[in-house]
Amino acid sequence: MTPRLVAGLVGVAFALAGLAILLLPVAVSSAEGAALSCGNAFGWGSQERATGVASVRFPGQCAQARDTRRTWALPVAGFGALLLVGAVALPRPAGRHS
pLDDT digits (tens, 9 = 90+) for 46-80: 665 555 554 556 778 888 888 999 999 999 999 99
Domain ranges of the chain: 3-89
Q: What is the pLDDT of residue 85?
A: 94
Q: What is the pLDDT of residue 1?
A: 81
pLDDT tens per residue across span 1-50: 888 899 999 999 999 999 999 999 888 887 777 778 888 887 776 665 55
13: left (phi over 0), alpha (psi -120 to 50) or beta: alpha
Any idea of the CA torsion for 63, 69, 75, 77, to the nearest 10 degrees?
A: -110
Q: What is the pLDDT of residue 20?
A: 94
Q: What is the pLDDT of residue 54?
A: 47
